[in-house]
Amino acid sequence: MNGYSDIVIAGGGMVGISAALQLGAALPREMTICLIEGFPLPREDADSEPEYHPSFDARSTALAYSSRLIYEQLGVWRDLECGACPIERIHVSSAGRFGSTVL
């Protein structure tokens, strides 16, 4: 890397990497995008459990169908699909009181 980028994205989480993919697909090839993530990626060859960023949340993430279409367009949905399943029921709770929504 030469120290210059047209666009710098701070954070390699779901939003940052999605933004980088979308911009990379939409911008001219000569424009450079730099994605900066301060926490190292887990090594695949490591014998120990991977170390995650303190803010990592292992709970499920809900994606709208329109997000799926975007990931399909970017060519990454096939890699994500193996861990996906339809949302059939949602329980919404606020401050300990029962809440609900209809899909």
Tell me which DSSP letter residue 43 carries: P
Residue 16 belongs to some domain of the structure: yes
Q: 0.85 cut: is pTM over it?
A: no
Q: Is 54 within the bounds of a domain?
A: no
Residue 1 lies in a domain: no
pLDDT tens-place string over residues 64-90: 899 999 999 999 999 999 989 988 887
**What confidence tens digit (pLDDT) does each residue in 17-35 have?**
999 999 999 999 999 999 9
Which of these ranges, 3-7, 28-32, 56-60, 76-80, has the smallest mean pLDDT? Answer: 56-60
Q: Which domain holds residue 33?
A: 7-42+60-100
